[in-house]
Amino acid sequence: MPWQMGSHALREAEQQCLVRDANEAAELLNVALIMETKRRDLRCECGDGACLARVSMTHAEYEAVRVYGSRFVIGVDHENPESAWVLSENARFGVIDVVAGDARHQVLTRNPRHAWVDDTTQDAIGQASLEPERIN
């Protein structure tokens, strides 16, 4: 098996995937009602199963994160520096990129939007790879 990291990192990644799925569902249900400037509360995707924090963001802000399968939206200071980098942060939320090898593979594999877009998915991943990711 290719897993080389501790099970904690994978549990954290699994938790992140579950909350991402929930946020995706919430966004789909609300998308018809959304004004670009209106903020709504979504769940923090930090990977802590006990975290109940909410993040306030517009649909446009949410979509800007969801374009990348390895990025998650979190409450301010909810990042785990061992598995993710903070890409941006404001007073309402932070955006992280999961960089730890096996956890990154897991969150990319579980990206729910792979099922929504066909071949353009590869382009989205290709754009992400311009940043820290290397494909061997």
Task: Give the interface with Zn ion as residue ranges (CB under 5 A).
Answer: 44, 46, 51, 53, 75, 78
Q: Measured from the CB atom, is 79 or 128 closer to Zn ion?
A: 79
Distance CA 134, CA 101 (A): 10
Which contiguous run of DSSP H or E holds residue 85? Answer: strand 84-89
Q: Measured from the CB atom, is 32 or 52 closer to Zn ion?
A: 52
Contact 40, 56 (CB under 8 A): yes
Number of H helices, E strands in the chain: 4, 5
Contact 97, 68 (CB under 8 A): yes
- Between β-strands 71-74 and 84-89, what pairing exists: parallel, antiparallel or unpaired? unpaired
How near is the Cβ of 15 to Zn ion at its closest, in Å? Answer: 10
Q: Measured from the CB atom, is 19 or 128 closer to Zn ion?
A: 19
How near is the Cβ of 77 to Zn ion at its closest, in Å? Answer: 9
How near is the Cβ of 121 to Zn ion at its closest, in Å? Answer: 27
Contact 116, 129 (CB under 8 A): no
Q: Measured from the CB atom, is 77 or 131 closer to Zn ion?
A: 77
How near is the Cβ of 27 to Zn ion at its closest, in Å? Answer: 18
